[in-house]
Structure 1
Amino acid sequence: MRIPVAVTRRMPRWLRVVVATLTLVLGVVVVIRPTTSLDLLAWLIGAGLVLAGLLQLVERPGFDAETDRPSVWRVAGAIVWLVGGVLVLALPGLTVRLVAVVVGVGLLINGVLSVVSGLRRSATLDARIAGISFGIAELVFGVLALAWPDITLLIVAVVFGARLIMGGALELWSVARGEPRAAFRPKTAPGPVRRWTRTVAAVVALALAVGAAVVSGSVHGASPVVDSFYAAPRDVPAQPGRLIRAEPFTRDVPANARGWRILYTTERGDGSAAVASGLVVVPKDGSGPWPVIDWAHGTTGFAQNCAPSLAKHPFESGALFSLDKVVDSGWALVATDYIGLGTAGPHPYLIGPDTAHAVLDAARAAPQLAVAHLGAHNVVWGHSQGGGAALWTGATAKRYAPELEIDGVAALAPASNLPALVDHLPSVTGGSVFASYVAAAYTAIYSDVSFRAYIRPGAQVTVREMSKRCLAEPGVLVSVLHALALTRDPVIFSKDPNTGPLGKRIAQNVPPAGIGAPLLIAQGAADQLVIPSAQSAYVDGLCAAGQQVDYRTYAGLDHVPLVEAGSPAIPDLIAWTHDRFDGVPVAPGCTRRAE
């Protein structure tokens, strides 16, 4: 059967070539560099939505053979796409997040309409299966679009880019073959092969949607959940360093040790009261009092559920791979989660005084857990973010907690030279994840630092979503995907973060000299994140200020391998810490050793 057509209009050949070529080229650009195009994504999606609506109107499977007109459901779906496209094009200032919402809502509405269309009594079996399958797939993808706005943007960019490439290529092929192009063209009724091919495609789309939903559910479900232990009671003590509550903790605690998680009071850098959580581990054999290692953990994230005490592997998540050696040495461990991880935020990521207070107040509060039998002597350890926190702890201790006995400070690959670190992040694979934590923390804590002023518009949704994911949870794979995509254009900042209010605040949080306890700084010579030259420049500044420091570099070791169990830095750290607890004097001034 042939469907009669009332209107046939030909487009000039030269115009078809120009439009097809531009479409093809634009599609290639979007697919190759989707994140670069995020700033223009609203325009691309708007045009794509309009095109999708027009194609849905003229597509043959959408026609009702009895009336020679497009089915009412297909017309309704086409109108949804057209309205969405016009909305996006009419509002060029629409945020990228809202563009994702438009796409998600459009998918949901079209999904409902497709399911309803498939349930028509007059529909053939293949049309029923195709309509219902496509509809459910659209519903699932619509929900995922709203649940994962940042990854949706990347996928939408690639999908629309692919659509543009195919459309442009097909049009050029059509011109080359000399075929006329019409707004509406006569078409023969589809045969069984074509009809069932569409049905199979619909079922495949449904299977992909279900698979995506299962993966999404497992990723979301695997994220740590903050429980009631971390909630501050109404009668919080006013004094920092007071133990609020404690309960036994066994996850990844060595067999020859006992553990507890604690909640305690602390104080932000501006003097406002806060609550933090942490872990305490002591040897099981013996009665103490145990010398204490005050551990400042490496980066785990910015969101509240990123506390190491909530993670599946609480000690390794913050890069403490040598807890067994701590216990075997007859020492206790007091490990803060910092403010805003576990407890109410925001978390002061790479903000010195706040994290130092959390470390010191954990050392104050933990001895109030009488059953742990903690001693009076402390050595502070920290890695990466925690290395910077350890340096700040040493510089702050005498003023903030003069009653504590701090026998030494060991900073392992510390985040010390913050301007150099932030400047280097665009060169690091995955550096945008750490940059998102910096942006989230500094804009949340400092009123003079604006997120919109420093993060380029096309990357704002991506950066905000990255900052919500913990490094130890499966959802960070989405952030890694974006980080890999951003390697072609890794700059998420619209202007140099080391300038203006943000630059001032970053410089303000460089750990100062004036650490009264013996200081050890260890650095991997092959570190790709905290680069050795930046660390050396920081140490030069300490030495010039008269700070005693034992600076050791380790050939061939990257950022995390420096603190893994097989690293030569670990026995050096253990031996150095034994000397601190034993009161062995350190050499004055600056010493440098390459191990």
Structure 2
Amino acid sequence: MRQNTSRHNHRRKAGGVAAAVLLAVAFAGSIVAVPQAVAAPIADFYQPPTDIPATPGAVIRTEPMPLLVSVPGINGPWPGTATRVMYSSQTENGDPTVVTGTFVDATVPWQGKGPRPTIVIAPGTMGQGDQCAPSKAFSAGLALQLDPLSQNPLSLSANQEAPATLRWNAVGARVFVTDYIGLGTPGTHTYVNRIEEAHAVIDAARAANALSGSGPATPIAFWGYSQGGGATAAAAELQPTYGPDLNLKGTWSGAPPADLLDVLAKIDGNLIGGAIGFAINGFVARNPALEKPLRERTTPAGQALLDQLAGECIGDVIFKHPFTKTSSLTRDGKSLLNNLGTIPEAAPIFERQRIGTLTPATPVLITVGINDDTVPYGQVRDLATTWCGGGADVTFRTNELPPVGPGLVLPNHFGPEVMDGLATNEVIGYLMDRFAGTPVTGCTFD
């Protein structure tokens, strides 16, 4: 294993704690947004065609998207033009499917070295309802669903990836933000499904190359945090086999849920504990054999909540179901994960979600907070160690933000994202170096 250890060069000191917490709390409000009402039924754009292209990454349809948000500190319009996109991809079984997303082409010159690159952003947790798709909130910053006849008459979704998109557009890079499989389009969003999220990210890069006309030689980087960090990590290790045609230069995987069971156990009972329902619903959708034994172990109220979560966004989890403990959903009073352990079919399903069974062929930057209260630090570091042992070029950086309100998610989970990804140039600088061809070899653990 090629490994260098530095404990001083990149530590984030306690002097920035207050600013980091304020940034984390204000993260969703960093863009001045105009709420946009969205209809409950799936809009025509999001309906797949009768015949889905068998070639992954094919552009199926597009439509112009206005950027109505205003950005503090930016004079003039957003430095890019946006397009809503539907493209082809594949499920974990290899079946053709569709994915939607947002392509924002920069309107300013590229400020880095080499050709203009494309950044594929894998969003953090958005939810499971179709109204939660990032592309539905991208134009105005917020999407508000008002549907008195539905199970979720009021639902709010925010464009979490606007700040990152802006940062990259401002330096002249193209950006593609995927919606993931089943988010916005018909079917269940397969939340934290390793293979399907990787496919959505890789195929978004292919679609972006087609839209820009720059072709497969286009420099590509993957960018993601939390759910998105897991998606980019999975995409990085699947790219050599599923996307060898891409010119992938580097990946940021922030706080990746590499060991899903470890992560789900960690969030059980914290502010976003209800997100466990997103994962359960997605795995049941792809593995129907789980449905009957799972229903036998959940109470009627517990099953009703799982059904409700299938149509909700992460904001709904926070405001409607904060600090959900899954032991309150089961007949025996034990957690859902404990109950899943008694279902023989469940173990191999969750084992397939483990990130780190393959090795990336291009450099990866992994960041995580040592006091992250949502994605456990140890399993992230284990991923870096595993990849390094397999010969990958891995830079691992620890954010040392002290504990601030454990279980509240915003300070210690989102704080490091803002500090590392947006408030400093650490992640952007790392990827700019990859585009410039600056060599990075071996592993560095900080």
Name the TM-score, length of structure 1 as normaliser: 0.57
Partner of 1:444: 285
Identity of aligned residues (%): 27
The yes-or-no answer on 1:508 pairing with 2:347 is no
- Count residues in correspondence: 370
- The structure with the larger Rg is 1
Q: How does 1:503-542 map to 2 (within 5 A)?
A: 503-512=347-356, 513-542=358-387
2:141 matches 1:313: yes
**Secondary structure in 2 matching 1:558:** helix
Give, in whole Å, the separation in 2 of the partners of 1:551 and 1:591.
6
Query: What does residue 104 of structure 2 align with?
Result: 281
CA 1:494/1:370 → structure 2, altered by over 3 Å: closer, same or farther? Answer: closer
SS at match of 1:449: helix
Aligned 8 A contact 1:259 1:282 in 2: yes
Quickly say closer, same or farther: Cα 1:580–1:316, change in 2 above 3 A.
farther
Give the Å deviation of 1:437.
0.5
Which of 374, 391, 394 is equivalent to 2:236? 394
Shift of 1:544: 3.6
Over 3 Å counting, the alpha-carbon distance change for 1:375 and 1:292 in structure 2 is farther
**What do the CA deviations read for 1:224-278 (whole angstroms, capped 9, x no partner)?**
6631111112343232211011111123486221111101111111010101101
Which of 425, 432, 440 pairs up with 1:586?
440
Q: Name the counterpart of 2:15.
A: none
Range with bigger deviation, 272-281 or 534-543: 534-543
SS of structure 2 residue aligned to 1:550: strand
Q: 1:572 aligns with which of 419, 426, 439?
A: 426
Q: Which residue of 1 aligns with 2:179?
A: 337
Give the structure 2 partner of residue 376 of structure 1: 218
Match of 1:559 among 388, 397, 413: 413
Partner Cα distance (1:565, 1:583) in 2: 25
Q: Structure 2: how far apart are the matches of 1:437 and 1:384?
A: 14
- Tell me the SS of whatever aligns to 1:422: helix
Superposed, 1:42-53 pairs within 5 Å as none
Could you say which residue in structure 2 is the equivalent of 1:88? none
User: What SS is found at the alignment partner of 1:410?
Assistant: strand
The verdict on how the C-alpha distance between 1:468 and 1:249 changes in structure 2, with shifts beyond 3 A counting, is same
- Alpha-carbon distance between aligned partners in 1 of 2:387 and 2:42, rounded to the nearest angstrom: 40
Runs of 5+ unmatched residues, structure 2: 1-34, 71-76, 143-156, 402-410
State the match for 1:459 in structure 2. 302
- SS of 2:321's partner is helix
What runs of 5+ residues in structure 1 fail to find an aligned partner?
A: 1-218
CA contact (8 A) 2:269 2:324 kept: no
1:353-389 C-alpha deviation (Å, 9 max, x unpaired): 1111111111111222247999611011111111111
Whether the aligned pair in 1 keeps the contact of 2:52 and 2:96 (CA below 8 Å) is no
1:304 aligns with 2:130: yes
Higher mean displacement: 250-259 or 564-573: 564-573
Q: Aligned to 2:80, which of 226, 251, 257?
A: 257
Tell me the equivalent position of 1:142.
Answer: none
| Aligned partner of residue 360 in structure 2, secondary structure | coil
2:201 matches 1:356: no
Amino acid at match of 1:592: F
Secondary structure of 2:239 counterpart: helix
Q: Which residue of 2 aligns with 1:324?
A: 166
* Rounded Cα–Cα distance in structure 1 between residues aligned with 2:40 and 2:419: 26
> What CA RMSD, in Å, does the superposition of the two structures yield over aligned residues?
3.1
Using the TM superposition, name which of 476-485 and 289-298 deviates more.
476-485
Taking the TM superposition and a 5 Å limit, the aligned residue runs for 1:96-107 are none
3-state SS of paired residue (1:322)? helix
The aligned counterpart of 1:230 is: 46
In the alignment, which of 223, 239, 245 is matched to residue 61 of structure 2? Answer: 245
CA contact (8 A) 2:53 2:96 kept: no
Q: Distance in 2 between matches of 1:364 and 1:584?
A: 24
After superposition, residues 109-188 of structure 1 pair within 5 angstroms as none
Q: Is the 8 A contact 1:381 1:390 kept in 2?
A: yes
User: TM-score scaled by structure 2?
Assistant: 0.75
Counterpart of 2:118 in 1: which secondary structure?
strand
Q: Residues 516, 346 of structure 1: CA spacing in aligned structure 2 closer, same or farther, 3 A cutoff?
A: same
Could you tell me whether the CA contact under 8 Å between 2:268 and 2:325 is conserved in 1? no
Residue pair 1:454, 1:495 contacting (<8 A) in 2 also: no
Distance 1:536 1:427 in 2: 24
Select which of 87, 93, 102 maps to 1:270.
Answer: 93
- The secondary structure found in structure 2 opposite 1:321 is helix
Higher relative strand content? 2
2 CA distance for matches of 1:464 and 1:591? 44
Shift, 1:391, TM fit: 0.9
Q: CA deviation at 1:285?
A: 2.8
